Structure 1
Amino acid sequence: MPTDCITGSEIGFLRFLRSIRGEATFEPVRFGIVGGVNYLRLFAGVIVVFISMVPPANSVPVSGVVRSKADQSPIAGAEVRVESATQGVVASMSGTFSIDLPSGIMVTLAAGKFGFINSSIRLTPSANSAPVVIRLEPLASGPPLSNPFHDPSVACTYCHAYYYEGWSGAGSGVASRHATAGSNTWVRDLVDGSGTGGGLGQPGYVFKRDSTSLAAGNPYTTGLCAECHLPLLSSLLPEDTPAGARVDLSDAAASSPEGSLERLAYDAGVACEVCHKTESVQQANGEFGRTGFFGKAKLFANDDGVQFGPLPDSDVDIPHIMRAAYNPLHTESRLCAACHEYRMDHDFDGDFDEAGSPPGQTTYSEWLSSSYAQRGVTCQKCHMSPDGDQVDIGVGGPSRSPSQIHNHRFEGATLSRLQRAADVILDATPVAGALQVQAEVRNVGAGHNFPTGFTTRNVILAVTATTDLGQSLVWSSSGTDLVPAWGGVGDEANDYGLKPGRGFARILYGRGEVEGTTQERVIFIDALGEVSNTAIPPKGKDVSHYLFSLEGIPGDIVTVTATLVYRRVWKDLAEEKGWTLDGQGQPYGDLLVEQVHLVVPINHQIEPTPTSTQVEPTPTPTLAEPTPTPTRHPDSCDLVVDGRADAKDLIAYLRDRAGVEDFPTDFNGKNGEDVADLFEFAQFWYQPPPGQ
């Protein structure tokens, strides 16, 4: 690679890595914006992280204890670190700790533990520093407030403009789906027909008019949608509130009075404080079957100022607005399970977790059973990945590592993310008057099933074969996979149903309109069980086969095309509802995830092997010894296998941190993939794997 593109900082970084091993030379490598990844920006963050992990040259140990402000009792397990550092120490069972700090330099030493307000002290460490005491205030006890919430456009936007703009869409024009959860027109159309108008007279399915489960005595008359779509209201209800008395979507609307909590619930949806006041996510039985705040997610409403977050060193204490409190839940995917994992109480006995309870969403459990969970790659890492030049989390705050700054757009099924999630591979062979085609759809980049989420989500693979003269090949009814009818049956270009291809979706069934019958593709609130689930699991693949006739086909070339499209809802439902805009008011249509073309010469067809009553024995060939290929030792950090950890592996590490590709970067085998693995990587810089 050319060396004239290397900057001084890059060379310095490479020299820094080599110096750790006592080496004086370096191998030049070109970095820049490659594949949409700004490696220079990543390097800046990596250098900050690397330096924060190496103890200062003139550090001194400082001891101390973390105590409760209430009764001076020691706080075991408190996290103690220098403000903005990515690592620290954990207080012992007696609340004591010892930490290395730079001598003669004033630092802010902070502590945090779930159940307390974060706090910090300022000190200038020296060899003679006396033991320090950090006191944490316990969270308030007592009854919850009737309204602990603030309007994000007033309370959050000034100090946290970067986060607010991502969540609200200010500047970009497209709000996050969290922000529009309360006003989502599709959800309201499905519940009571109020989203785009028409009410109970609206065409297509309307829960309050058409639900067969309501007719059978379903006590969840609200549809349970407001549990996650109006959480500013649903989170405040007592857990023992009767099913029929839960929050209804109609309780909050655009017509609700300005300044009322109902209007805020409609306008702000999943607002900042829905997540930042969530203290736990789990039912009493340890399961996740119930939806949202209906007995699963617990909100801390005793103090309107308390805001939970993932940082124990954020010390901001502004009464009634912002009292930073550490909660490790905010580093875990379990936080997302509040609304992205639930089942239906199909027999109306109050048990959402018994055998046979049909799934509504299983995104969390899909992730939990994947290799992503095993490696510590959380929902937040992918859907809240750091971007841009943001260096602080609030006005006046310290500069931080990119690993501590998360975007709040909460991107899900956007085109760019879908395209990174799936890959299509085609293979075709002409054999005896026919073209045999194999298609693979691989889930290469999603940490959950593809597709996932609400059960109307579906993906279609359409496979066609066309000659160089423009003639479409006819498929054989045997040996060809077909898209289910729900892909759309008709003459429109995107009617893929009953044509070569595959459909990927979860299909639920429920009670039919005639007693004793059933119907398929119902939403979860009407479901009795699951018919099928063809969604592709993380790192999984689907293989399908097709047979096209070549008899009488003119031309010498056939082009096989595989088209992969994503739909948020069933095609017939969107057409019945007349939806040309999505629930946020953005143009709606099929999203083209990938299209692959394979050109196949057909003038040299492979003849089938003739059968014979006498077959000559095939001589056994002499097998040559295989050429050994390098293998990656688990401790060698040799990601791009070539027998050593070098610049190519550093690029692989950075692409993994950026979420572009997935590599096993848990080099130290501790705490999953995190910035500490970079230091481990440096230890093996240019070192061959053991035994080589």
Structure 2
Amino acid sequence: MATENPESLPRQTVDSSAFSSAGQCQYCHIEIYQQWQGSAHARSFINPLYRQQLARVSNESQGAADEFCVSCHAPIGWLTEQIPPIDGEGTDAVAQQGVSCDLCHAITEVPQVGNAGFRVSPGKVKYGPFDDALQSAMHESEYKRIYSQAEYCGACHEIIHPENGLVLSSTYSEWKAGPYGSRRIQCQDCHMTPGPGVEKPNPGVAATGAPKVRDHISTHYMPGTNVFGSKQAGFEDHAALAEETLQSAAVIFLGLPDGLTPYQPARVNIRIRNDGAGHYLPTGLSVFNDMWVEMVVTDEQGSVVFQSGVTGSDGTIPEDSIVFGTTFADAAGNETDNLWEAARVLSDNRIPPQKYVDEFIEIPGLSRPGTVDIKVRLLYRNITPQGAKELGIDIADIPVTEMASAGGKIQVR
């Protein structure tokens, strides 16, 4: 059983010659290789936002955070002691492939959830979820139950500050404590299937020319929310899957008054339900992205009479908007987005799985009888304006995904 104590697992080191390039896998697993190639896992080491934040945290921690970050973003480089240094100058081509085929299929156990809590045994044997896999000239195959369990993903998708024990990213524990965890709907059941939602059959073969057509072959797009990164890297199919995943996650319901008199303000109830994710919305390191509510109210002439959450020309979300996420405070109690400085959670208003939150916005009344039209949207983008500025990216180039929307009318009589 995996433990969740980040200090309990001794460091494992492996010779760099033990790992093979992902390119070798494509000769037999071309479809899976192409799916992985456009995934966030394949770009975990070269992701610009990660590299920028890594450099910042490394500098401010005087190198103390280096292994903490690279162990999941560049696991082969970390296991083979090619990293640090964090700039990757000493890494070979295999290590630069991030979370690659040979890393994932060398995992034999996950004795600890979080902070790269996996154990690997790279070499001729490749491990996976099939207990009847055929042996081939390229490699042997061995079944491991962990490949069909959420703990496999939890090895990295639970981030715990190694010095003060603060949970910085709790995707695994959110799943475990929620309804998906209690029903043992695994991460793989949603993120390794042809589309969002619980596992759908994906018949096929695991390798080119394999004689057995299986009921389900796991896809390796592994979509999350990274619309921008996928588009930037030229993987439009992956970007579309990320958008589809976001659009399936939440629903909005509006509570509107039946009618108003002139000048009477209205209090609009916005209920947002996490309907399709097995973890919180948003999950992960939400300090680096934005999820917020936008409301636009127009009169019968189409003129905007009220708005909330409408971004400015610089992409900034107004301060009085409804924004979902976790914020951290440093040891002095000041808000910080530097994960190494984080000492406690300052606020957390995210939406648990299969739960809803009620938010309220008051809109002013019309001066005369008529109809007001209300449109509410739940929006998401991968990078905040501050993050885009630090990366030298125009915030206008960061796609904004409409996760859910609702509308209605109020009569002023």
TM bucket, shorter chain: 0.7 to 0.9
Structure 2 match to 1:549: 364
The structure 1 residue matched to 2:132, chosen from 313, 318, 325, is: 313
Residue 258 of structure 2 is aligned to residue 419 of structure 1? no
- Could you tell me which residue of structure 1 aligns to residue 232 of structure 2? none
d(CA) in 1 for partners of 2:341 and 2:401? 28
Change (3 A) 1:565 1:493: farther
Aligned counterparts of 2:384 and 2:328: Cα–Cα separation in 1: 13
C-alpha deviations, 1:365-424, integer Å up to 9, x for none?
A: 111111112222111111001579762101232333333x01111111111100000111
Match of 2:43 in 1: 180
Match among 84, 89, 92 for residue 247 of structure 1: 84
What one-letter code is carried by the residue in structure 1 that aligns with 2:47? N
Unpaired segments ≥5 residues, structure 2: 1-12, 196-200, 226-241
Is the 1:564–1:595 Cα contact (8 Å) retained in structure 2? yes
**Residues 50-69 of structure 1: pairs in structure 2 closer than 5 A:** none
What's 1:497 paired with?
318
Establish whether residue 281 from structure 1 lines up as the match of residue 110 from structure 2.
yes
Q: Aligned equivalents of 1:508 and 1:274: distance in 2?
A: 32
Q: CA deviation at 1:246?
A: 6.2
Matches for 1:86-125 after TM superposition, within 5 Å: none
Distance 1:157 1:570, change over 3 A: same
CA contact (8 A) 1:235 1:298 kept: no
Distance 1:592 1:386, change over 3 A: closer
User: Shift in Å at residue 551 of structure 1?
Assistant: 4.8
Whether 2:78 is the aligned partner of 1:231: answer no
CA distance in 2, matches of 1:325, 1:208: 38
Cα deviation for residue 452 of structure 1 reads 0.6
* Per-residue CA distance 1:267-301 (angstroms, 9 max, x = gap): x1111011110111123xxxx35x22xxx211113
- Measure the CA separation in 2 of the matches of 1:453 and 1:276: 24
> Larger deviation: 269-278 or 570-579?
570-579
Q: Is the 8 A contact 1:358 1:524 kept in 2?
A: no
The alpha-carbon deviation at position 600 of structure 1 amounts to 1.9
The superposition leaves residues 78-104 of structure 1 with CA deviations (integer Å, 9 ceiling, x where unpaired) of xxxxxxxxxxxxxxxxxxxxxxxxxxx
Q: Residue 392 in 1 paired to residue 205 in 2?
A: yes
Partner of residue 235, structure 2: none
- Cα 1:381–1:146 change in 2 (3 A) is same
Q: In the TM superposition, what is the alpha-carbon distance from 1:146 to its structure 2 partner?
A: 4.3
**Partner of residue 297 from structure 1, selected from 118, 121, 127:** 118
Please list, as runs of the form range in 1=range in 2, the aligned pairs for 1:440-459 lying within 5 A after superposition: 440-455=271-286, 456-459=288-291
* Shift, 1:570, TM fit: 2.6
Equivalent in the alignment of 1:409: 221
Partner of 2:8: none
2:171 maps to 1:363:
yes
8 A Cα contact 1:207 1:223, kept in partner: no
1:222 aligns with 2:41: no
The answer on 1:167 being equivalent to 2:36 is yes
- The reply to whether residue 600 of structure 1 matches residue 413 of structure 2 is no
Q: 1:559 to 1:277 in 2, by over 3 A?
A: same
8 Å contact from structure 2 (residues 249, 275) kept in 1: yes
Structure 2 CA distance for partners of 1:367 and 1:530, relative to 1, 3 Å = same
Contact 1:383 1:410 in 2 (8 A): yes
Q: CA deviation at 1:577?
A: 3.0
2:404 partner letter: E
Paired letter, 1:505? G
Please name the residue that 1:152 is paired with.
22
Task: Give the structure 2 partner of residue 520 of structure 1.
Answer: 335
* TM-fit CA distance, 1:589: 2.8
* DSSP 3-state at the match of 2:244: helix
Tell me, yes or no, if the aligned pair for 1:469 and 1:555 is still in contact at 8 Å: no
Larger radius of gyration: 1
Partner-residue secondary structure (3-state), 2:180? helix
CA distance in 2, matches of 1:236, 1:299: 12
Does the CA contact (< 8 Å) of 1:346 and 1:527 recur in 2?
no
Q: CA RMSD in A?
A: 2.7
Describe how 1:432-447 pairs up with structure 2 within 5 A.
433-447=264-278
Say if 1:562 and 1:510 are closer, same or farther in 2 by CA, change over 3 A.
same
Query: What letter is aligned with 1:305?
Result: K
**Aligned partner of 1:183: which letter?**
I
Alpha-carbon distance, 1:179 to partner: 0.8
Kindly state the Cα deviation for residue 229 of structure 1 after the two structures are TM-superposed. Answer: 1.4
Contact 1:358–1:508 (8 Å) recurs in 2: no
C-alpha change, 1:421 and 1:329, in structure 2 (3 Å) is same
Alpha-carbon separation, structure 2, partners of 1:342 and 1:540: 23
Over 3 Å counting, the alpha-carbon distance change for 1:521 and 1:470 in structure 2 is farther
Partners of 1:364 and 1:389 in 2: CA distance: 25
Q: CA deviation at 1:145?
A: 4.5
Question: Match of 1:543, SS?
Answer: strand
Matches of 1:495 and 1:473 in 2, distance apart? 21
- From 336, 339, 347, the equivalent of 2:156 is 339
Q: Secondary structure at the match of 1:227?
A: helix
Q: TM-score, normalised by structure 2?
A: 0.83
Measure, in 2, the Cα distance between the counterparts of 1:474 and 1:390: 51
Whole-angstrom CA distance in 1 between matches of 2:314 and 2:71: 38
Q: In structure 2, which of residues 289, 296, 299 is the aligned counterpart of residue 464 of structure 1? A: 296
Partners of 1:461 and 1:437 in 2: how far apart?
A: 13
Aligned residues: 376
2:231 corresponding residue in structure 1: none
- What is residue 264 of structure 1 aligned with on the other side? 94
Aligned in 2, Cα 1:246/1:394: closer, same or farther, shift over 3 Å?
A: closer
User: Percent same amino acid at aligned positions?
Assistant: 23
Q: Which amino acid aligns with 1:151?
A: S
- What residue identity is the alignment partner of 1:360? L
